[in-house]
Amino acid sequence: MVRTAAPVGGKAGLVSQLTLALVCAGYAIGSALGWGSQQLALIMGDFGLSVAAATAAVSCFLYGRGHESRFRPAWLLFALSSAMAACGNAIWGWYEVVLGVEVPSPSIADLFFLCFAPPAIVGLLVLAKRPVSRAGWVCLGLDAWLIGGSLLTLSWSLALAHNSQPAGGSVPHAALDLAYPLLDIVLVSMVLALHFRRSSANRSAINTAIAALALTVLCDALFTSPLLRATYRSGELLDAGWFAGSLLLAYAPWVSTRGPAVEHPRVARRVTRGRLGSLSALTPYLAAAVCTLGILYNTLNGRSVDRVVLFTACTVVLALVVRQAIMLVDNITLTQELAQKENHFRSLVQGSSDVIMIAAPSGILHYVSPAASGVWGRNAEELKGSELADLIHPEDLGRVAHEIRRFLTAGPLEEPTTRIECRFKSGTGDWLNVESTVNRHQGGGLLFNSRDVTERVRLQAQLQHNAEHDPLTDLPNRALFTKRVGQALHGRRATDRGTAVLFIDLDGFKAVNDRLGHQAGDDLLVQAARRLADSVRQSDTAARLGGDEFAALIVGDGTRDTAARERHIQELADRLRLTLSQPYEVDGSGVRVAASIGVAFAEPGISAGDLLRNADLAMYRAKAAGKGRVVMFAPQMKAEVVRKAELATRLRSALHEGEFALLHQPVVRLDSGRITAVAAQARWRSAQGILFTPAEFLRVSEDNDRTAELGRWLLEEAVEQAAERGASGHAVPVSVRISAARILDRSVPLGTVEALLTRHGLPSGALIIELADHDPRIPLDELERRLTALHRLGVRIALDGFGNGFAAITALRRLPVDVLKLDRSLVEGVVESARLHKITSGLLKIAGDLGLQSVAEGVDLPEQVVALRAMGCTHAQGMAFSGPLDEYRLRRALTAGHYPLPRGPIEPVFAGGTVVRSHNETAVPPT
């Protein structure tokens, strides 16, 4: 397992650096003051340096052992080098401190000192950035020799020539005197040469190690000089340099990269590389200058040029020539490669489908690629020298100029590139949508890489249009309409109460769709959309919300006269209603539909959703009031909706809570007054004690499943109570109202009816189903099959509401009907209106001719009984006999068996007479 150590950085790094500086400064001060005694100076000068070198050896060894990297051998070699220095200083101290004798020359300490340089030199080679080619290795060697040879020339001229003469014939002593400076020169050469070639990895640690070795070499050079060598004693100030070099080398491997400087690191790196490159280029010339100084020194002193100086100077010059030749060859190769790359990029630019432009800071185009002719239809040569602003659409020019100024103000490293999209003028005068990537160019210019994105912009615009518009009519859809309503409410005229929303529904459109087909319905919708769009102003918005629902946003004009504004909107809505109600030409024939319109005005603080909801409520009120009309929203409409929702919520649990009761209204024969049947009617007495009739609670129930469940309960309860009355001797048929839609949607399955009749033992003819509506859209074929099947089970069929609508005659012709129930609208005015008297008489004659039983519904006055009986009506039900009864009162009435009938002519009750309540308003007697 590899051990890792955290690098020295941050606050801990600062503490380490301060500690190192204080220790080195303390040693330097002690050396300058002589340590207070000769003995202490010898100890600190010998064993102190040994401890510092040993610390460096241990530090580099621990780091090299615990870190797997390419530089691991370098730190291990530095550890070996420092260990050699530690041993040499220890032996030197043994002689001076322990034995108290002069250190012999040469000695074992010199052997260790000489072994200090080779491992350090190899370690520097490991730290160096390795050349990638053979020529690079040659250049590295030449650079090292240029530095080393020049230093050797200068050193030989100044001191080494004297040291090379054996003193007293002592060749080893002379060799030792030359070995120290020569190894130091090699080490200095490597330090200087590798300073320009050091690896970029862990740069701080490498710089610190180079600085430590450079300081050590400098002290070695001073030690070997004749001026200091003769007077040197251990513990002097020179030892402080060796001490600092060893501790600096011990600190080097643990150095981390410091925090970011004020300048961007990339900029600092680029500047540093530029300076180092300049110094590296000057190195050969500086080496030649040093050699020249060495020769001049010998000449000026009147001495003949030494053979060593001459040899080294010649080799330095030769190395310089070879180095320059290699550089020349490299420059030629690089020039050729640059030319090839330039040709390659030129062919890429000229062959690119994108337009490349170079613009000066003033906006003048200096270069335009040939692609401009294909993309913009403009000659590239003609565009050169023109203004960039002349190509940009005037509406986009300000935005483009602002973006370019912002881009140039930002630093190149913060924002190296930007993107601009604007419209460019083509050669045909059209405006093309162009997207440009902008980069900085030399001299403050701009480099544009532009491409035509007109088709993409058109596609995006089309997709956006499709997402916000109705595909059939091309009017804004609900999403866009809601968005524009919100803009109108939160714009400059947010407090303008004149802004209004109109919700429009085409009454009768579904019948057109069913009768003529969906294609005809679509044609009608397109015509209606065109009429709506033509009826509003350009600043207003007409929209299709879905199906046959349309809407219009009428933006207020800022008028303060609220009444005048409401009148204007009312008039506009009326005109729009009349316009949309005009005949439509569909499939060669005229088709009419009506328009129900709800209007809601904006109020301060209202949201778009609330305003649309208000208009929707007003539109539904218009449909409920008879369709084909305009209704203005009133606050009480919302309250009614809330009440309806609450009532519908309570209705869902009313059946399970037992809040529904079943009442029966007797059906009486008009010739005898005998009760021949009863009509079952549901009543809902809520937990709050409020009584609701079917007309009230079925109107609030929009839950089809809940309505079907109520219908099933009514049928089962009516059959069960009829069976119980039959068992107690009061057998009488019961009629149950069921809509044709319920019969067709299988709410009354045949198996259920048959099982119900069998389970309760109800005889044939004891159950009468009243067909409650005659919607012309209901398929009569299916209805006929369903009713025929029920008829086979012994269920009698009654046609309710006969005489109201056009479908009654068709239903009478097709369906297996046993009983005709006259609509109450024919009964209410039969005494007062001669015309209605004739209509009712005719319908009753039809029933008699067909052999059908006739029942008049809503017979509330005695004179109506007389008139209907005279016309041939056989049965009647209403307040003239009895209202709906609970089970107890019904059995009492059945026990009596009949009701008294009025005889002879009776004067009718006109307006101002006694008001007879309808059975729908009859109070339920207590049970």
Q: Is residue 461 within 8 Å of 448, Cβ to Cβ?
A: no
Averaged pLDDT, 850-859: 91
Q: How many C-beta atoms surround the C-beta of residue 228 within 10 A?
A: 14
Model confidence band, residue 918 (pLDDT cutoffs 50, 70, 90):
very low
| H, E, C per residue of 24-44 | HHHHHHHHHCHHHCHHHHHHH
The pLDDT of residue 263 is above 60: no
Q: Which residue has the higher pLDDT, 194 or 248?
A: 248
Q: How far apart are CA 343 and CA 356, in angstroms?
A: 16
Question: How many whole angstroms separate alpha carbon 766 and alpha carbon 795?
Answer: 7
- pTM (two decimals): 0.50
- Whether the CB-CB separation of 722 and 732 falls below 8 Å is answered with yes
Per residue in 479-488, pLDDT (tens digit) is 999 999 998 8
Provide the pLDDT for residue 291. 64
Rounded alpha-carbon distances, angstroms, from residue 513 to 471, 509, 547, 628: 18, 6, 11, 19
Cα within 13 Å of Cα(674), Cβ side: 6
Cα(801)–Cα(798) distance, integer angstroms: 10
Q: How far apart are the first and last CA of the chain?
A: 94
Of the ranges 311-315, 470-474, 683-687, the best mean pLDDT one: 470-474
Mean pLDDT of 763-787: 81
Confidence of residue 877 (pLDDT cuts 50, 70, 90): very high
78 close to 120: Cβ distance less than 8 angstroms:
yes
Instruction: Please determine, for residue 161, whether its predicted confidence score (pLDDT) is greater than 70.
Output: no
pLDDT value at position 133? 67
Name the CA radius of gyration of the chain, rounded. 56
Specify the pairing of strand 875-877 against strand 853-857. Answer: parallel
pLDDT tens per residue across span 833-844: 888 888 889 889
Closest residue by Cα to residue 170 from 181, 160, 178, 158: 178
Strand partners, 821: 855
pLDDT, tens digit, 9 for 90 and up, residues 54-75: 999 999 999 988 877 777 888 8
Question: What are the tokens at 586?
Answer: 């569909």
Q: How confident is the model at residue 152, as a pLDDT?
A: 60
Q: What angle do CA 367, 370, 372 make, to 5 degrees?
A: 90
Going by pLDDT thresholds of 50, 70 and 90, the confidence category of residue 87 is: very high
**Residue 595 scores a pLDDT above 70:** yes
For β-strands 365-368 and 355-359, DSSP reports them as: antiparallel
The torsion of the CA quartet 534, 539, 545, 546, rounded to 10 degrees, works out to 30
Concatenated DSSP letters of 262-283: SS-HHHHHHHHHHHHHHHHHHH
Residue 528 has pLDDT above 50, yes or no: yes
666 DSSP β-pair partners: 678
Range from 422-431, 518-527, 692-701 carrying the lowest mean pLDDT = 692-701
Residues 377-407 pLDDT 10s: 888 888 888 998 988 999 999 999 999 989 9
For 864, other C-beta atoms within 10 Å of its C-beta total: 26
Listed residue (821, 893, 818) closest to 664, CA to CA: 893
Three-state DSSP class for residue 155: helix
Reference 733, options 670, 781, 666, 647; nearest CA is 666
**202 pLDDT tier (thresholds 50, 70, 90):** low
Q: What is the pLDDT of residue 735?
A: 93
Token digits of residue 816: 């297996």
Question: Over pLDDT 70: what percentage of the chain?
Answer: 74
* 224 three-class SS: helix
CB-based contact 549:580 (threshold 8 Å): no
pLDDT score recorded for residue 3: 39
120, 378, 429 from 424: Cα distances, Å: 66, 11, 9
β-pairing verdict for 417-425 and 365-368? unpaired
Closest CA to 77 of 50, 53, 49, 57: 57
Give the pLDDT confidence score for residue 258 in this predicted structure: 43
| Confidence category of residue 810, pLDDT binned at 50, 70, 90 | confident
Q: What is the pLDDT of residues 409-425, one digit of tens each?
A: 887 888 889 999 999 98
Joined together, the tokens standing for residue 874 give 């056989």
pLDDT band at 271 (very low <50, low <70, confident <90, very high): very low
> In the prediction, which pLDDT does 472 show?
92
Count the alpha carbons within 13 Å of 476 in the hemisphere toward its beta carbon: 16
Q: Mutual orientation of helices 237-251 and 10-32 as an angle, nearest 10°?
A: 160
The overall average pLDDT reported for the chain is 79
